[in-house]
Structure 1
Amino acid sequence: MSGSQDQLEIKFRLTDGSDIGPINYPVATSVATLKENIIAQWPKEKDNCPLTVKDIKLISAGRILENAKTVGECRSPLCDVPGGVTTMHVVVVQQLQEKEKKLTSDDHKKNRCVCVIL
C-alpha cells in the first residue's frame, strides 16, 4: 500500500446527528483505539459521555466492529470510496444497560407477592 491507501479518513456520527471528525487514521489502527479517541474527543456539552471502550459500539456498513480488528480489516470495498470519508455510527450502550437495571429493580418492587395465612 502507498500514501493515501495507508490511511482512512473517518468521521464518527453520534446518535443526535452531530459528528466527531473527520480524522485520518492508519489502516493498522484498532477499533479499540478508535473508541478511545472518541471518548477523548466527546463533546463536553453532551450528557451521555461514554466512560469506557465497552460503552461504545461502532457500526460501519451495517456491521458492529470488533475491538480487536483493525480499520483496514473492517473496511468495506463497496462503501469506502478512495479519497472519501468513511462514516461510522457511534452507539453508547451505557445508558441502555442502566435503564435495563432500573427496569429490573422497579419490576421486582411492583411484583411483590404477599401470602396471608388465615
Structure 2
Amino acid sequence: MAVDGLVELKFRLADGSDIGPSKYSSTTTVTSLKETIISEWPQDKENGPKSINDIKLINAGKILENDRTLDQSRTPLSEVPGDVITMLVVVQSPLPDKHSGNKLLEYDALISIVNLLYEI
C-alpha cells in the first residue's frame, strides 16, 4: 500500500467514473480524503456530497472511519504493491421520513453499492 510513505488511491463514484488517482501520505486521515472528494467532485454530476458526513468510503468491503489514517485503515490482503487502490464512494441521500413508509431511497442506495462491488 505505502511506498516511501505514499499511497496511490482513486475513488470510484456510483456511475463508475473515478476521482484520481492521486498519491497521499499514509498518515492522511479518512476525513481529509472525504474533503478532497468534495473539492474534486465533478461539477456535471448531480447529487454531490455537501459535507463529509454525506460520504462513506469503502475499501475491501470495509467502511472507513473518519478519525483513522490510511495506515490504520489498511487491508493488506486486498493490496498489491505498487498498484492503485480503488475505494468506493457512497453518497448518502437524505432518508425519507420514517412515517412516510417510502423505503425506495434506501433500496436504491443498497442496489448502487452492490453494483459497485460487482464491478470491481
TM range (shorter): 0.7 to 0.9
Q: For each residue in 1:60-109, what CA deviation from the matched residue of structure 2 results, as whole angstroms up to 9, or x when unmatched?
A: 0110000000011111111111111000000001x1xx2423xx4545xx
Q: Unaligned 5+ residue runs, structure 2?
A: 102-120
5 Å matches for 1:1-118? Answer: 4-93=3-92, 95=93, 98-101=94-97, 104=98, 106-107=100-101
TM-score (structure 1 length as normaliser):
0.79
Runs (4+) of structure 1 exceeding 4 A deviation are none
TM-score (structure 2 length as normaliser):
0.78
Larger Rg over CA atoms:
1
2: CA distance, partners of 1:80 / 1:5: 16
Q: RMSD of aligned C-alpha atoms?
A: 1.5
Q: Look up the match of 1:111.
A: none
Q: Secondary structure at the match of 1:46?
A: coil
Q: For each residue in 1:28-86, what CA deviation from the matched residue of structure 2 results, as whole angstroms up to 9, or x when unmatched?
A: 00000000000000000001110100000000011000000001111111111111100
Count of equivalent residues: 100
Q: Unaligned 5+ residue runs, structure 1?
A: 108-118
1: CA distance, partners of 2:95 / 2:59: 26
